[in-house]
Amino acid sequence: MVVQKEFLDRAHRIVWCTVATVGPGQRPRTRILHPVWELADELTGWIVTRATPVKVRHLAYSPYLSCSYWEPGHEVAVADCRAEWIADVATRQRAWELTGASRHRSATTSGVCSPTARPGNRPRCYG
């Protein structure tokens, strides 16, 4: 629990995270995202993001990702995770509220839309 608490402290302080996935061509791909972490029985990270073709292909190939936080003072926090797309609206709504997306983003800012957005334009949550 001490390590998880230290991870949470660093992740919440640094905020932006480099998230890496690997696709069928065995090439890594990174993107900057803002996971929100919660610690209950285990550490769980939530990311509200659009299901782009690259993200979908990568997680279908390998459902693992690496989340790396770094700041100039060389404080780091890294979590290697198993990820999945969340489809049910209730869980997506919970993730949406947990991440504060409803307070900090309009329905279309940065390509992210609400968990009840029209079909074909739905974001997904890693959970």
State the pLDDT at residue 22: 96
Higher pLDDT, 47 or 101: 47
Beta pairing, strands 36-39 & 85-86 = unpaired
Cα 50-85-126 angle, rounded to 5 deg: 75
Q: Kindly report the CATH number assigned to the domain that includes residue 32.
A: 2.30.110.10
Please give the Cα distance from 46 to 44 (Å, whole number).
Answer: 7
Question: What's the token pair of residue 22?
Answer: 């690997």
Q: Write down the pLDDT at residue 109.
A: 36
Higher-confidence position of 15 and 114? 15
Residue 29's CB is within 10 A of a number of other CB atoms, namely 15
* Structure token digits, residue 19: 């998230």
Tokens of 73: 């003072």
Three-state secondary structure readout of 85-116:
EECCHHHHHHHHHHCCHHHHCCCCHHHCCCCC
How many structural domains does the chain have?
A: 1
The two three-digit tokens of residue 39, written as one number: 């610690």
The Cα 89–Cα 111 span in angstroms is 19
Q: Residue 38: pLDDT above 70?
A: yes
Question: Does the pLDDT at position 127 exceed 50?
Answer: no
Q: Range of 59's domain?
A: 2-126
**Model pTM?**
0.76
Phi-psi region of 74 (alpha: psi -120 to 50; beta: other; left: phi over 0): left
What is the mean pLDDT of the segment spanning 46-53? Answer: 90
